[in-house]
Amino acid sequence: MMNLMTSLIGLGSHLAGWRHRDAWSPTTMSLDNAIHLAKLAERGKLDMLFLADGNAVRQMDDPILFSATSRSDRPAAFEPLTLLAALSQHTTKIGLFATATTTYDEPYLLARRFASLDHLSQGRSCWNVVTGSYAGDAVNFGRSAHVPRAERYNRAREFVEVCKGLWDSWAEDAFIEDKASGRFLDPSRVQRLNHVGKHFAVQGPLNVARMPQGYPVLCTAGQSEDGRELAAEHAELMFSVAQTKAEAQAFYADVKSRMAKFGRAPDALRILPGVTLYIGRTEAEAEEQFQELQSLILPELGLAYLSRQCQMDLSGYPIDGPLPKMEGEVAGVASYRESIAAMAHAEKLSIRQTYERIVPSLGHVLFKGNPVQIADQMEDWFRGQACDGFNVDMPVVPRSLTDFVDLVVPELQKRGLFRREYAGGTLRQTMGLATPQRRIFSNPTLAAD
Ligand SMILES: Cc1cc2nc3c(=O)[nH]c(=O)nc-3n(C[C@H](O)[C@H](O)[C@H](O)COP(=O)(O)O)c2cc1C
């Protein structure tokens, strides 16, 4: 069975999606829109609703990109756990999937927020563990430059370990609330963590009861060597930015093969590439929508967007000439620019043709067609071990999600590729993931203090 998720973002995944006549307007900071999308995605039985995140307003030094905005810039965005806490009260089954950085946060605070979300949603929380894609976040946290990748990953590894330890603070039955005896809790059913490491010293215990899922479902996004190792060790869900089926298959095989040394079975980690869907009732209708959106992109915006993805100023190169060799160190997601350059060189694309390729899907794969054609492409990747499902991106919100739920989901269900009903209450039950057992530490417990 496929795992399917979608982003909870009002702007759409085509750079001009928000300008389309069927797109919501206004969308800025709209709780009503978010509730609408959450209910719609739950009607489609999707696994999760996802919120990417960052901690800065981006692109202020590039007026073309800044004024046109793009969804990843997020000049006005809800803090993910806060919005998902609100949505937990308007949904009952769908997973609530928040991005949170390990570079600019503290494990105690974050462990507490996720444990709270898991309680509020009765077991539907999921954490996208990121080390930060945007160098500009650093200046909002007392630093002048982005933390180097190796240091970010070291901190991330310890951060996740500390969170897991804190989530193991309390046994499920610790809070007995026995009115007759006057014992509210059982002190033998809680333990301190007493963690002292390179980045953190955390005594614990956490001041939230054990969450319904034990731990939130853990996701990682980084694609580098360090990112793949982190995923193989800890992640139950991972994004892939592969641009072709062959690339996705190689990535899938590589990451899954790393899991055995951590004592993990391949199915304990689900790999979901991002895919943007252009859906029509007919092939012609899908193409018409696609061309309509393409016509809303100005060349200077396309060029500015590609320059940013490649982290290289392309404005001095002929727009109809080839994409030049990539130069310079990448501060954020190196894999995006590598994928883009590989595609442009393999297919001998000009700069203009390259941005025309990435603007409709913003770095993700693109599937276009009627519901049967879309399902065919999804099935081909899924059965070909290129993925375990998809992070489906919607070019025009809410129209594209409505089309996905009403037209494509039934086709996937008919083929036995996707659930007709949620299996249970928690996200782990929905996804068929194991619930972690509470570990007992050798450190002194509170009872022995
Ligand atoms: C698909 C994808 C989604 C990501 N989402 C976020 C995000 O929402 N916020 C963030 O700060 N970093 C995000 N990242 C950045 C990663 O956490 C990581 O910092 C970055 O990819 C660099 O590591 P890498 O070279 O291992 O890929 C994302 C990365 C990828 C590939």
- d(C-alpha 161, C-alpha 198), whole Å: 12
- What tens digit of pLDDT does each residue of 82-113 get? 999 999 999 999 999 999 999 999 999 999 99
- d(C-alpha 405, C-alpha 119), whole Å: 28
Q: Are 105 and 43 spatial neighbours (Cβ–Cβ below 8 Å)?
A: no
Other CB atoms within 10 A of residue 55 CB: 20
What's the 416 CA to ligand 1 centre distance in angstroms? Answer: 32
Find out whether the beta carbon of 130 lies less than 6 Å from any atom of ligand 1: yes
Other CB atoms within 10 A of residue 146 CB: 20
Confidence at residue 177, expressed as pLDDT on a 0 to 100 scale: 98
Confidence at residue 298, expressed as pLDDT on a 0 to 100 scale: 86
Q: Is 435 one of the annotated binding-site residues?
A: no
Collapse the DSSP code of 195 into the 3-class scheme (helix H, G, I; strand E, B; otherwise coil) and give the result.
strand
| Domain(s) of CATH 3.20.20.30: residues in the chain | 3-171+200-283+363-436
Find out whether the beta carbon of 216 lies less than 6 Å from any atom of ligand 1: no
Q: How many residues does the chain have?
A: 449
- What tens digit of pLDDT does each residue of 246-302 get? 999 999 999 999 999 999 999 999 999 999 999 999 999 999 999 999 999 888 999
Q: At what angle do helices 225-234 and 245-257 cross, to 10 degrees?
A: 60
Between the alpha carbon of residue 319 and those of residues 229, 303, 309, 348, 421, the distances in Å are 38, 8, 16, 13, 49
Sequence-ordered alpha helix ranges (H) in 311-370: 334-346, 351-358
Residue 95 bridge partners (DSSP): 48
Give the residue, out of 102, 133, 336, with the most ligand 1 atoms within 8 A of its beta carbon, to mutate for a pocket test: 133
The H or E element that residue 17 is part of is none
pLDDT at 51 over 70: yes
Confidence at residue 440, expressed as pLDDT on a 0 to 100 scale: 95
Q: Is 403 one of the annotated binding-site residues?
A: no
- d(C-alpha 400, C-alpha 276), whole Å: 10
Residue type at 81?
L
What's the 54 CA to ligand 1 centre distance in angstroms? Answer: 10
Give the residue, out of 58, 134, 333, 365, with the most ligand 1 atoms within 8 A of its beta carbon, to mutate for a pocket test: 333
Choose the weakest-confidence range: 64-68, 362-366, 398-402: 362-366
CATH level 3 topology of 3-171+200-283+363-436: TIM Barrel (3.20.20)
Q: Specify the ligand 1 atom closest to the Cα of 274.
A: 1
In three state form, how does the secondary structure of 390-449 look? EEEECCCCEHHHHHHHHHHHHHHHHCCCCCCCCCCCCHHHHHCCCCCCCCCCCCCEHHHC
Q: How far is the first Cα of the chain from the last one, in angstroms, to the nearest whole number?
A: 48
Token reading at 18? 């928000």
- What tens digit of pLDDT does each residue of 304-361 get? 999 988 888 999 999 999 999 887 766 656 667 888 888 899 999 999 999 998 888 7
- d(C-alpha 308, C-alpha 135), whole Å: 13
Confidence at residue 34, expressed as pLDDT on a 0 to 100 scale: 96
- d(C-alpha 24, C-alpha 39), whole Å: 16
- What tens digit of pLDDT does each residue of 355-395 get? 998 888 776 789 999 999 999 999 999 999 999 999 999 99
Average pLDDT score over residue span 430-446: 86
Confidence at residue 437, expressed as pLDDT on a 0 to 100 scale: 96
- What tens digit of pLDDT does each residue of 132-190 get? 878 889 999 999 998 998 999 999 999 999 999 999 999 999 999 999 999 999 999 99
Write the DSSP symbol of residue 141.
Answer: G
- What tens digit of pLDDT does each residue of 413-433 get? 999 999 999 998 899 999 999
Confidence at residue 188, expressed as pLDDT on a 0 to 100 scale: 97
